[in-house]
Structure 1
Amino acid sequence: MPSSDGKLRILIVDDSPTIRKNLVQTLESFDFDVVAAADGEEGVSHVAKDHGIDMVITDVHMPKLDGIEMTQKIVSQGFNKPIVVLTQERRDEFVQKARAAGATGWMVKPFHRDEVISVVRHALKLSA
């Protein structure tokens, strides 16, 4: 469901101010409406209050509530839209754990802005 101005809304959840800022700027430059949270608890709160969120991009290792736990929580509360996990992990068992939690995709850090846009478009089933 697009925001009131017709843009798709993406929630960024990452405890790194630099990563949040870079993702927000990248996504806004491609005309997405972006909201950001600094940890998993804040991310859960955003999803609970903002029913217009079309996608979540979350870091894994965060204080208070990590990205896997946050993903499990929002999925258990009915969020059924794409969730992409950001991580430095490359192991298959991590991917399986993220999928079991409800993640629909992942990006390995560090990432390039073109990769971010490609993953977002793919997750949201948008054409280039």
Structure 2
Amino acid sequence: MKLRTYFVEDNPTIRENLIATLAELADVEAVGTADTELDATHWLTQNADAWDLVVVDLFLRQGSGLGVVNALQARSKNQKLLVLSNYATPDVRERCQRLNADAIFDKSNEIDGLVDFCIDLNTNKV
């Protein structure tokens, strides 16, 4: 069964490449996308049973990925939230962890870790 994933990324090229890569390597199915905090939080909270994983960039066209992470505090235990950012500094990682992000990956050098996380998540999904 595919990992139902929602992508919050404002760069269309990055978003489409990420979707294609994860679909091919990690059996991920894109169930939706957003490029703003408001669109993402609205869809994710209104469709809480429609996704298994959210991949969030921190800098969006409007709003912040941190706002999306914060809005999903009440997600179920089997729903995972990953942050993927070019700004995965120690301070940002700490802040994301305090907001209960399941993992934080740097776009520039941790894509393999993101793929591995998704493969592992899909393999161990009930």
Separation (CA, whole Å) in 2 of partners of 1:72 and 1:83? 11
Letter matched to residue 59 of structure 1: D
| Deviation string, structure 1 residues 54-97 (Cα, Å, up to 9, x no partner) | 0110000113221111110122xx21321110112243221110
Aligned match of 2:105 in 96, 104, 107? Answer: 107
1:27 aligned onto 2:22: yes
Distance 1:26 1:125 in 2: 15
Q: Distance in 2 between the 1:90 and 1:7 partners?
A: 27
Corresponding residue for 1:121? 119
* Matched residue count: 119
| Aligned residue in 2 for 1:95 | 93
Larger RCO, structure (CA 8 Å, separation 6 or more): 2
| Aligned-CA RMSD value | 2.0
TM-score by length of 2: 0.81
Q: Taking structure 1 as the reference length, what is the TM-score of the superposition?
A: 0.80
Matches within 5 A, 1:60-71: 60-71=58-69
In structure 2, stretches of 5+ residues that fail to align are none
Q: Which runs of structure 1 show a deviation greater than 2 angstroms over 4 or more consecutive aligned residues?
A: 111-116
How many angstroms does 1:49 deviate by?
2.9
Using the alignment, how far apart are the partners of 2:94 and 2:16 within structure 1? 28
Q: Percent identity?
A: 21
Unaligned runs of 5+ in 1: 1-5
Q: Distance in 2 between matches of 1:90 and 1:44?
A: 21
